[in-house]
Amino acid sequence: MMQDFDVVHPFKAANVFSGREREFKSGEIVSSESGLNSETVTIEIENSFFVIERSTLDACCKRRTDGGVPLV
């Protein structure tokens, strides 16, 4: 199941297919598969996929609830 996350701290990640680096900025929303316990995760934004360290997701993003309000 996909879960949405609010970016709260900027970070950079490389596109899975092109390798092109993208900067993620505060206020953007990314999606990731929930329930996976690996060191890296794939995030999606605008139909593009990026691999980041789970620690980056945890440090830079906050999970959204079904209503779209970030968890505190």
Residues 6-64 pLDDT 10s: 999 999 999 999 999 999 999 999 999 876 678 999 999 999 999 999 999 999 999 99
Smallest CA-to-CA distance from 60 within 38, 32, 35 is with 32
Strand, helix or coil for residue 68: coil
Give the pLDDT of residue 70. 52
CB atoms within 10 A of CB 43: 21
| pLDDT value of position 66 | 59
- Taking the complete model, does pTM exceed 0.75, yes or no? yes
Amino acid at 22: R
Helix, strand and coil content of the chain, in percent to the nearest 5, comes to 10, 50, 40
